[in-house]
């Protein structure tokens, strides 16, 4: 990790170099599929060239889809749902009390025990299209495959900007730019 605890180009290159050495040492057949998110270090030319030169085929998930496509994110997502239910149960049994580190330490293992079983991880893996036989996109729910409409998003963004330009300056009582933008979007949405 970098000094600010984020992966950067240097740390990612170091990680995939280490991974590649392990693959070579274990005589893993290449190419292998490297599934990853859109974090900026993945687009570094040196990283991409190293991956290509060493049989690491990089597949990058679309933005905001890792809970649908990335196994680890999906497992943590499901764990968080379980953990949240346990916290809700604790809060109901302890009205007015705060969640402390001690409470977290007591609730965490119960949630973890429910999610550390290999059968659950395999079930989640199947939902993100990873099976014992390889990649199976047919297992991924259709709602995670939504066509992006860039032109429509640009049109909406430009409309909000145009409407904002016609408004008088904000007063302290009206709040922030974000508050006003939210109000415009709510007025536009009939639901």
Give the start-to-end residue ranges of the domains of the chain: 9-60, 66-144, 150-188
pLDDT digits (tens, 9 = 90+) for 174-187: 555 444 444 544 44
Q: Determine if the peptide bond prior to 150 is cis (ω within 30°).
A: no
The pLDDT of residue 24 is: 95
Helix%, strand%, coil% for the chain, nearest 5: 65, 5, 30
Higher pLDDT, 172 or 28: 28
> What average pLDDT does the segment 57-78 reach?
74
% of the chain with per-residue pLDDT over 90:
12
Q: What is the mean pLDDT of the chain?
A: 75
% of the chain with per-residue pLDDT over 70:
69
Higher pLDDT, 12 or 115: 12
> What average pLDDT does the segment 92-112 reach?
87
Q: Which of 85, 94, 16 is nearest to 56 (CA)?
A: 16
Q: Is the pLDDT assigned to residue 52 strictly greater than 70?
A: yes
Q: Is the pLDDT assigned to residue 59 strictly greater than 70?
A: yes
Tell me the C-alpha to C-alpha distance, in Å, between residue 140 and each of 82, 93, 103, 120, 184. 21, 37, 36, 16, 35
The pLDDT of residue 151 is: 59
Q: Which of 172, 178, 139 is nearest to 160 (CA)?
A: 178
The pLDDT of residue 177 is: 46
Q: Is the pLDDT assigned to residue 164 strictly greater than 70?
A: no
- Counting beta carbons within 10 angstroms of the beta carbon of residue 37, is it exposed (0 to 12), middle (13 to 18) or buried (19 or more)? middle
The pLDDT of residue 145 is: 61
Q: Is the pLDDT assigned to residue 108 strictly greater than 50?
A: yes
């Amino acid at each position: 990790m970098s000094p600010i605890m984020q992966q950067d180009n240097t740390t990612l290159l170091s990680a995939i170099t280490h991974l590649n050495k392990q693959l070579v040492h274990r005589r893993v057949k290449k190419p292998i599929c490297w599934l990853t998110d859109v974090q900026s270090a993945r687009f570094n030319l040196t990283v991409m060239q190293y991956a290509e030169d060493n049989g690491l085929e990089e597949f990058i998930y679309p933005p905001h889809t890792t809970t649908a496509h990335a196994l680890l994110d999906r497992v943590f997502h499901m764990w968080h749902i379980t953990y949240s239910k346990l916290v809700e149960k604790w809060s109901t049994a302890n009205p007015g009390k705060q969640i402390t580190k001690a409470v977290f330490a007591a609730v965490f293992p119960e949630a973890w025990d429910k999610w550390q079983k290999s059968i659950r991880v395999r079930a989640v893996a199947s939902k993100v299209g990873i099976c014992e036989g390889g990649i199976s996109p047919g297992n991924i729910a259709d709602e995670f495959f939504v066509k992006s409409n860039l032109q429509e998003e640009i049109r909406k963004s430009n409309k909000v900007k145009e409407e904002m330009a016609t408004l008088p300056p904000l007063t302290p009582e009206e709040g922030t730019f974000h508050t006003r933008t939210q109000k415009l979007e709510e007025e536009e949405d009939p639901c």
